[in-house]
Amino acid sequence: MTPQHHLPADIERTSMRIITEELARRGLTILPENAAVVKRVIHTTADFDYAQNLQFTPGAVAAGAEAMHAGATIITDTNMALAGITKPGLAKLGGQALCFMADPAVAAAAKQAGTTRAVAAMHKAAKDYPGAVLAVGNAPTALLAIAEEIENGLRPALVIGVPVGFVNVVESKRHLFAVCEKYHVPAIVAMGRKGGSNVAAAICNALVYSAAEMLDPKARGWQ
């Protein structure tokens, strides 16, 4: 077997071309403003279901990109998602990404309240970074905590709700999306069971790349 490409930039460009062509063959139409996010998630997962599973409140991608351009703080619910978010892109925009799951104070708060660390982490995020981008790829309880905070007045720049799993996942996504719609909070949610930390990171990266004009890999220094 002879590899089609060797250079990372060529591999990514060809992958994105294949994704665009396959979306067309499948008759899947994506709104132009959402295309960078949907294609980045498909590129990460090789799963075209996301062309239909990902739902967006009106203007969510634009709001997310604007927040990134302004140097937003991203709060994730897993260190895996944190590791997958582009650090050079964030640095170019003056932003940062954080995860509180290993914070001893969060662990103590969760134990005292009898809840999960994901819930305690999102309550901490709401208190310390009220205008952050909240990116959840694992814990449905985190989505419920975010929804509760929004109902109590929190207005994050964007909520990314893409946990994966079987227990409370579908219901928590629906509930979060409904709350975000009600209170006009920008949201990107992967309806159904699919998702994961890699999907959360991919959505963040699509927004960062869009804001930093780094969608083309050459802009990221790739050869």
Tokens of 35: 């295309």
User: Exactly one of 43, 69, 175, 184 is catalytic; which is it?
Assistant: 43
Angle at 16 between CA 214 and CA 200, to 5 degrees: 65
* 43 part of the active site: yes
As annotated, the active-site residues are 43
